[in-house]
Homo-oligomer: A and B are copies of this chain.
Amino acid sequence: MKIVVVGSVALDTVRTPFGEGTEILGGSATHFSCAASFFTEVGLVAVIGDDFPAEHIEFLKTRGINTAGLQMVDGRTFRWEGFYEYDLNQAHTVDTQLNVFEHFKPQLPEEFKQTEFLFLANIDPELQLQVLSQVNKDAYSVCDTMNFWIERKPGPLTEIIKRVNMCLMNDSEAREFCRTFSMLDSARRLMALGPQAVILKKGEHGALMFTDSTHFAAPAFPIEEIKDPTGAGDSFAGGFLGHLASTGDLSEPNIRRAIIYGSVMASFNVEGFGTARLTTLTRDEIEARYQVFRDITWF
């Protein structure tokens, strides 16, 4: 397998100033794997309840996503309900129902264990640790998280960060976890735990990448019409790791290009509710937007 992702598959109810969606396909692993599927093969590890619509599984399969690690168990699927006001960088949670995730024990199919890349999407860090322990030690591992886990499970989260090759976080989450205002300082504190690189996602302001010796600043795409920012960070990660895994090149220039591909995928993701925009997206559209990033950044 090129990439294995563990994270949530969810039914999201989302309201933004530009519309709403009720029980639409969502979750960190969903957004990640849909984005990554435009670049390479992805194996999905998650759990759904027996109420999960069959059409969503069909959609994941049409995207070429390997669902052998998607367990269906008795009970209700994970649900998240939230809204955004005009500051679309800030999600306001109305309700989180873990449901089947409360007793989830991830079991990786054999073909997933020899993956080249592992993405630990936003989910309980104890589940991230369980998955990390099942894949081969040479897998290039990247983790993400959110404020929910920073506040509730700082210990397991720190353990995960210590053990991955790269750490992704939102800027506000990095500030909260590292207890510093400075992005540079946050990145250094995260790298001091173990990762060789840190990517800080800043929503509409783009993303920053830090290693011990370099720094890269990518803008966000100037989007005409944002419909729903949910999953932007996961789509970013999917485009990012999708490009890295499809090229197998971990050099700094290629990591920079991967960040731009991640930004491209995030920009498409927010143009529709849930995964709507990705259902019609083409590789040509992805490449065209990559070129726009060149146009808006040269000097």
| Residues of chain A having any CB pair with chain B under 8 Å | 17, 86-88, 181-184, 202, 204-206, 208, 214-220, 222-226, 253, 256-257, 259-260, 293-299
Contacts and interface: CB of A to CB of B under 8 A. Distances in A.
Given A181-B86, A205-B206, A219 B222 contact: no
Contact of A17 (B86, B181, B253): B181
A198 to B, nearest CB: 12
B184 A217 contact: no
A260 B297 CA distance: 11
Nearest to A210: B222
Contacts of A216: 296-297, 299
A12 B246 CA distance: 55
A209 to B, nearest CB: 9
Nearest to A18: B181
Given A202-B205, A222-B208, A215 B184 contact: no
Contacts of A226: 182
A30 to B, nearest CB: 26
Given A88-B181, A205-B205, A297-B297, A222 B218 contact: no
Contact of A206 (B181, B219, B222, B298): B219
22 contacts: A86-B181, A87-B181, A182-B226, A184-B224, A202-B205, A205-B205, A206-B219, A208-B219, A214-B295, A215-B296, A216-B297, A217-B220, A217-B222, A217-B296, A217-B297, A218-B299, A256-B298, A259-B299, A260-B299, A294-B299, A297-B297, A297-B299
